[in-house]
Amino acid sequence: MAQNRIGIHAGVWGFDWSPASAERAISSAASLGYDLIEIPAIDPGRHSAVDTRASLRRHGLESTVSLALTTADDITSADGSIVARGERRLLDAVRFAADIGSRFVGGVVYSAMGRYSAPASAEGRDGSLAVLRRVAVAAAADGITLGVEYVNRYESNLLNTARQTLEFLDELDAPNAVLHLDTFHAHVEEADITDPVMLAGDRLGYIHASESHRGPLGTGSLDWPRLTRTLVAEGYRGDITVETFSSAMLTDDETADIGVWRRLWDDPDRLAAHSLDYLRRQLHEASVVPTSAPLAGSDH
């Protein structure tokens, strides 16, 4: 049976990270049986590393850290002050991860997450690589892996597919940088949901398990049996983290920021329990399917 650690994004319980909110998310994830929680590094001023680390230890839960750059700190920008702000934010996320005992920082770390009005420029790409080389060195000093998550065409003009991301990683040439796969984005951009798994091989380091419509796993059009069978066949042993959001748990600004206009679910604890059970069942069933069985044509 696959030995992947299963995690859940803290945003399932909302993006506030006050000590009380952090305790709620961490305690809920731990009590449900998750191995880790992914904590979004939105604003260092809203995150207490001391309180977060204490809560994680109290509940025996591991963690990962994620972020998405914005237009205000886009490291592909031609404005040096914006680039510097982005580098600072990335380094702050690495420091936060180190302080709470996390060994992974991933997400949209290479450009702003948002719609661009023009293609990425060669200068912007080079600037992004230059910053990330320095960030990767800083991360490596703390034993932290850097995950590069490609997203759909409406949320970045730089990296939209696994192939593009692997080429970017080749240029980055950082031993601690890996491909971070989000199944929602891959479902939009890839010809086949299994392509990024097979293409990346051992450079696939982290997965966001996200349904085609960002709702509860198994309720959209993503072929989970086919994907999990491919993960097992390819020997993937990295973390798999559930990522789903609902306007039921978000402020109006957060809803607008990530475009979650519908209440895709109402109860975060029920959603989290369902997601863990669903993902574990899929991985278990994938692990007992004969390796000679065809991967195509699974039912949902």
Instruction: Please say if the pLDDT value at position 11 is more than 60.
Output: yes
Mean pLDDT of the chain: 92
Q: Which residue among 62, 87, 155, 243 is the active-site one?
A: 243
Q: Which pLDDT does position 73 carry in this prediction?
A: 97
pLDDT the model gives residue 248: 65
Domain membership flag for residue 156: yes
Instruction: Dump pLDDT digits (tens) for 245-260.
Output: 876 667 777 776 777 7
Q: What is the pLDDT of residue 249?
A: 64
Q: Which two tokens stand for residue 289?
A: 């399917």
Does 277 map to a domain?
Answer: yes
Residue 1 lies in a domain: no
Instruction: For residues 277-285, give the mean pLDDT.
Output: 97
Domain hosting residue 261, numbered range: 6-288
Do the domain assignments include residue 297?
Answer: no
Q: How many domains does the chain have?
A: 1
The answer on pLDDT for 265 being more than 90 is: no
**Structure-block tokens of residue 219:** 């309720």
pLDDT at 42: 76
- Given this model, what pLDDT does residue 3 score? 83
> Residues 62, 149, 190, 211: which is the catalytic one?
149
Q: Which pair of structure tokens corresponds to residue 16?
A: 């506030």
- Mean pLDDT to the nearest integer, 53-74: 97
Q: Is residue 298 part of a domain?
A: no
In the annotation, is 23 catalytic? no
User: 300 in a domain, yes or no?
Assistant: no
For residue 275, what are the contacts with CB-CB under 8 A and spacing of at least 6?
A: 8, 209, 216, 217, 242, 244
Q: How far is CA 219 from CA 46, 101, 182, 244, in A?
A: 34, 34, 17, 12
Contact 144, 176 (CB under 8 A): yes
Residue 295 lies inside a defined structural domain of this protein:
no
Active site residue 149: yes
CATH number for the domain that contains residue 203: 3.20.20.150
**Confidence check: pLDDT of 121 > 80:** yes
In order of 2, 30, 39, 112, the CA distances from 82 in angstroms are 42, 38, 24, 11
Could you tell me if residue 293 is inside a domain? no
Q: What is the pLDDT of residues 80-98, one digit of tens each?
A: 999 999 999 999 999 999 9
